[in-house]
Amino acid sequence: MTDIDRYRAAILHAAPDLAASDFRLLAESWDSTAVEADGRLVFKFPRHEAAARRLRKEAALLAVIRPAVSLPVPDLVLEEGPPLFSRHSKIPGDYLLTEHYAELPEKARRRLAEDLAGFYAELHGLDLDRMAAAGAEPESWGTAEEIGAKALPALTPELRPTAERLLAAYDRLPPDPHGTIYGFFDGHGWNMAFDHDRQRLNGIYDFADSGIGPLHQEFVYSSFVSPDLTARLAAAYEQLTGHMLDRRRIAILTGVHRLWELGELADDPEHVPLMVRSFADWAATAERF
């Protein structure tokens, strides 16, 4: 029996009305495998116990988030199985990658930034106690020393001085002036359902990495799409909320996040070169910090 046959059997055990549906593997990650049915339903199967816990947390968080935000997010329902898996209606759209963003006209870029700013503002208004009760956990990358101990040995000699200066700047940062919020903390283009024909954001998904952390940290992830998107997003958020953002802090956090990712994967030879390039890309475009 192939993988898709096993997934299909599990889905049909819970939903026999889908017997005539067309199933295909949609995506595979370290945590989960996603299966699509008829282009309209998505089923996510966790690949290990930690991923199962994250899936349960995501379902509980989304139950609170969905009524509170304007952008569509998954209507996640758990099927206990066994095996455990989730089901939700597919939000139409595709990834928004750097090359896609580069082709967007001014109007579409501005609208995307405004849509994301509104989404973040709504999330940040959610009650922290309620989100913690639903499973949201503190976001923490650790100290500059801890990040450096893992990441610096994996860098090339040319990149190491930049990383050391960056970590020193990170170590000197005072607490976030806007305090702690519940945030998405994963707002890159691989978690966006973007309609490339209409040039509009249709929705956001994958809330397993959302949590409670400093507000400025929310504005790190859009740089994976484009630094231009981050600049527009920050400006739109300021106009919407009145919270003025520190661009230098965002730049420092963006670089440190890439070092943190490198450190977390430092023992994985398959992914280390990608993480090193990611930091090198940031260092090549970052303003002075």
| 29 closest CA partner among 43, 18, 45, 15 | 45
Class of domain 98-285: alpha beta
Condensed to tens digits (0 to 9), the pLDDT of residues 172-223 reads 999 999 999 999 999 999 999 999 999 999 999 999 889 999 999 999 999 9
The set of long-range contacts for 240-243, using a CB threshold of 8 Å and a minimum separation of 24, is 240/114, 240/117, 240/118, 240/121, 241/117, 241/121, 241/124, 243/178, 243/215
Check whether 288 has a pLDDT greater than 80. no
Is there a cis peptide before residue 161, judged by omega within 30 degrees of 0? no
Query: Are 79 and 31 a contacting pair, CB within 8 Å?
Result: no
| 233 closest CA partner among 101, 57, 65 | 101
| 236 closest CA partner among 123, 126, 110 | 110
| 179 closest CA partner among 144, 216, 125, 210 | 216
Condensed to tens digits (0 to 9), the pLDDT of residues 109-129 reads 999 999 999 999 999 999 999
CATH number 3.30.70.1140 is the correct assignment for the domain at 3-89: no
Confidence of residue 1 (pLDDT cuts 50, 70, 90): low
Torsion sign across C-alpha atoms 204, 206, 231, 279 = negative
Question: Dihedrals φ, ψ of 77, to 5°?
Answer: -125, 135
Domain boundary assignment for the chain? 3-89, 98-285
pTM for the model: 0.92
